[in-house]
Amino acid sequence: MWWPICGMTDEAGKPIAGELGEPTIDTGDLAFRPMAEDVEKLNQRAHEAGDLDITAISAHTYPHVKDTYRITTCGGSFGEGYGPKVVCRADDARFDEGEASLAKLLEIGHSIAVPGRMTTAYLTLSILLRGIDADKKLTPVPMLFSDIIGAVQREEVAAGLLIHEAQLTFEEVGLKKLIDLGEWWGRERGGPLPLGLNVIKRDLDERVEGGCERVAKLLSASVEHAVTHIDQSKEFLRMRGGDRPEWSDDALVEKYLSMYVSGLTRDMGEAGGGALTKLLTEGAEAGLCPEPGASDVV
């Protein structure tokens, strides 16, 4: 979720200390406690428990949680000509870049590491593979997105489906791209590929007067602040990068932000909403997700 410097509090409800931790936006009587978690765990939590007032989810998850959550118009991520990537070892002579290699993977029946069955990456790959051969399937091996590169390197799986920052450095560690799903979607379907969404619990309005709209406006203000104070946003990423080397590389941070923070992140508008409907409708028609219905955006 793109609200890194908005009203942050600790578990006791007090503002987090530190130059980049102090709230820069007046949140009034609303307090926010950030929770860093893998997106697939957030997908499952939204689907199974629905206990978080605000959460990031994969676009694929929305039809499963639409009765519990509304979508915020800000904070989404869209692949505009790029997206999740299927990779294999660079020295694997069986496969070259292109859909023919995916057909070969299907023919052999190989396994592929995926970042979760509820991710948009997995939905999009499933749509593509059904178009190649609806009767054959790869064996998905769900795992944490950051573990996928290592699994492919060690030949535990034939290929891996990369999301997030894992897409930035795979070539440097001996892997090669078979297909970019965002490129494929744009070429074959047209328009951006919706990847992630921010959602708010519907019953927030019952607990806080005008809660959904108030929170959505605060999140929009936070996204706008993050975009217009880009140096602070980069430093915030570095502060919370842990042992991930990509966040200490200015060029990689710049590339990542340019990929997934765009005009559609600030406000998905009709273009983003239409792209979401297109993806989820095709997924539902293929039996890969529930019917999405109308996207409820606040």
Q: Which residues are catalytic?
A: 164
> What span, in angstroms and rounded, lies between the C-alpha atoms of 242 and 135?
43
Q: Which structure tokens are listed for 69?
A: 């959550």
Q: What's the number of CA atoms in the CB half-sphere (13 Å) around residue 148? A: 31
> What span, in angstroms and rounded, lies between the C-alpha atoms of 146 and 162?
8
The DSSP letter of residue 220 is H
Q: What's the number of CA atoms in the CB half-sphere (13 Å) around residue 286? A: 19
**CB burial class (10 A; 0-12, 13-18, 19+) of residue 16?**
middle
C-alpha 22: how far from chain center: 26
**Cβ-contact 173, 149 below 8 angstroms:** yes
Spatial neighbors of 18 by CB under 8 A, at least 6 apart, are: none
Burial 56-66 (b: 16+ CB within 10 A, else e): bbbbbbbbbbb
Q: Which structure tokens are listed for 262?
A: 């765009």
> What span, in angstroms and rounded, lies between the C-alpha atoms of 64 and 69?
10
* Among 176, 129, 184, 132, CA closest to 153: 176
